[in-house]
Amino acid sequence: MPMRVLVIVSCFAPGGAERQLIALLRGADQTRLQISVACLYRRNWHERAQAIPGVTIHHLGKSGRYAFIGVIWRAYRLARALQPDVVYGYMTPQDMIALLVGKLTGARVIWAIRNSHTPLGAYNLLHRFLVLAARALARFPNLIIANSSAGAADYEAAGYPAARIQVIPNGIDLTDFVRDEAGREEWRKHHEPEIWIELLTAEGFRHPKVRWTTPSRLGRFGSPLSARAIQYFLFSHFSLRMVRAPRA
């Protein structure tokens, strides 16, 4: 019987890590592996992954950047139904979900780390918390896969147990990975407002005003939930208004 593997990924978007995952899935030995992929978000590259022969794609329906509770429950239910031998988390937020789901269902857990030389201050507040939590929990997955020696060294220096880290190079054709400006802009749409403020400030815009969406489906009872701190756990929808500075 082939080994059952459940991969948990944020989404299939035009990013380098996502393209590498698609290449990995296409090259997997289907006589040895039965692969299912659980996507937190559905993005414009979802259909490309859906078309990979032998790979089943599931959508966990994440409604916003900070809406984790429902996603974790749906990931757990999916794992209970699929009974995977291995739960494979693809990058930090998904690593955490994979660890929880794997431990609850008795599956082995593998983490994928795909970066290096990224200072903690480069992340938003939630991602910083997840990075610090991952460092504390890094001794619990069965294996941690780094795609470079530099990445492995960085994570070891951050406190990840060296005995659990194994370096497996990407094994991809770099000529398939070219700069895609249209895809880059599409990917930027899903960033938090701080990223957009930084980009627009560089273009001469000033006085940013961010307004987070009130949970309108709750009517007048939703007004107490309009505080940004609470909305982080419900939605990531926002409107941003900025004014172009007068030209000199």
DSSP result, 44-105: TTHHHHHTSTTEEEEE----STT--HHHHHHHHHHHHHH--SEEEEESHHHHHHHHHHHHHH
Mean pLDDT of 69-93: 92
Q: Are 34 and 155 in the same domain?
A: yes
Q: What is the 3-state secondary structure (H, E, C) of 15-41?
A: CHHHHHHHHHHHCCCCCCEEEEEEECC
Tokens standing for residue 30: 């289907």
Q: Are 171 and 200 in the same domain?
A: no
Split into its structural domains, the chain has a count of: 2
Q: Would 135 be classed as within a structural domain?
A: yes
Residue 180's pLDDT is 61
Residue 66's pLDDT is 64
236-246 tens-digit pLDDT: 567 788 888 77
**CATH code of 110's domain:** 3.40.50.2000
d(CA 210, CA 227): 12
Residue 132's pLDDT is 84
Residue 173's pLDDT is 67
Q: Are 89 and 45 in the same domain?
A: yes
Residue 216's pLDDT is 47
